[in-house]
């Protein structure tokens, strides 16, 4: 079953028939052809399999997780694929990442959502753990969903990542998080995450070493 679903997910990807001056990949999600421009010299500007897993889940579970008119933030949006799919499914999306990635992210979001979505998504800078209250004040920012795909990898900002999850998450916020397991230090982040949040596995793909989680603040999981 794992291999069949993974094969179906990977069939959503296509590549240009002819070489172009810009590297891009294509995807079929939410009834649309999505073209993503990549930058191979930067981890944050490449589409990783965890993003495909999360997009596939959002599309195939759109009744249970109805995104229409929901306020969604994606952290570590990278190329923007997850944010684009959530927007095409009707959500009001804020796609966030580091300042050096915003140009490519903005390009992809605009190219794939303009005049196609109920709500035009926004692109905003978010450096984990920095100026959170200033840029996302708790009193006025309320997100129904926080989405994250492959944000836990070999980097020194795991404390800041956990702080960011904590700041953005209200009592009724649902976190949908696709994680690829790589190294022990990163894998231990799951245990630290569980000190603040209840965690439920909603999909597991051993052949990709990817797990898709649903999380809410402790005691709030339904």
pLDDT in tens, 101-118: 999 999 999 999 999 999
What's the pLDDT at 154? Answer: 67
In whole angstroms, give the CA distance from residue 39 to residue 42. Answer: 6
Q: Name the stretches of the chain with pLDDT < 50.
A: none
Residues 39-80 have pLDDT tens digits of 755 656 779 899 999 999 999 999 999 999 999 999 999 999
Percent of the chain with pLDDT over 70: 93
Own/partner pairs, 160-163, CB within 8 angstroms, 24+ separation = 160/128, 160/129, 160/130, 161/75, 161/128, 161/129, 161/189, 162/189, 162/192, 162/193, 162/196, 163/128, 163/129, 163/132
Instruction: Tell me if the pTM is above 0.85.
Output: yes
What's the pLDDT at 18? Answer: 73
Tokens 């009707």 correspond to what residue? 90
Q: Where in the chain are the domains? A: 1-217
In whole angstroms, give the CA distance from residue 16 to residue 132. Answer: 39
Q: Which fold has domain 1-217?
A: Rossmann fold (3.40.50)
Contact 83, 63 (CB under 8 A): no
């Amino acid at each position: 079953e794992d291999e069949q679903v993974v094969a179906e997910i990977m069939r959503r990807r296509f590549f240009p028939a002819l070489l172009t001056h810009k590297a891009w990949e294509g995807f079929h999600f939410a009834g649309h052809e999505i073209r993503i421009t990549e930058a191979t010299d930067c981890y944050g500007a490449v589409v990783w399999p965890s993003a495909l897993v999360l997009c596939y889940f959002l599309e195939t579970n759109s009744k249970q997780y109805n995104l229409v008119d929901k306020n969604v933030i994606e952290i570590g949006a990278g190329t923007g694929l997850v944010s684009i799919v959530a927007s095409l499914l009707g959500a009001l999306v804020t796609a966030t990442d580091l300042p050096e990635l915003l140009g490519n992210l903005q390009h992809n979001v605009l190219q794939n959502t303009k005049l196609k979505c109920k709500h035009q998504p926004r692109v905003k800078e978010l450096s984990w753990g920095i100026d959170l209250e200033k840029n996302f004040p708790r009193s006025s920012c309320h997100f129904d969903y926080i989405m994250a795909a492959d944000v836990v990898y070999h980097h020194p900002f795991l404390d800041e990542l956990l702080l960011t999850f904590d700041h953005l998450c209200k009592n009724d916020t649902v976190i949908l998080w696709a994680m690829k397991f790589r190294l022990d230090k990163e894998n231990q982040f799951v245990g630290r995450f569980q000190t603040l949040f209840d965690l439920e596995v909603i999909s597991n793909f051993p052949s990709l070493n990817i797990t898709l989680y649903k999380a809410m603040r402790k005691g709030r999981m339904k």
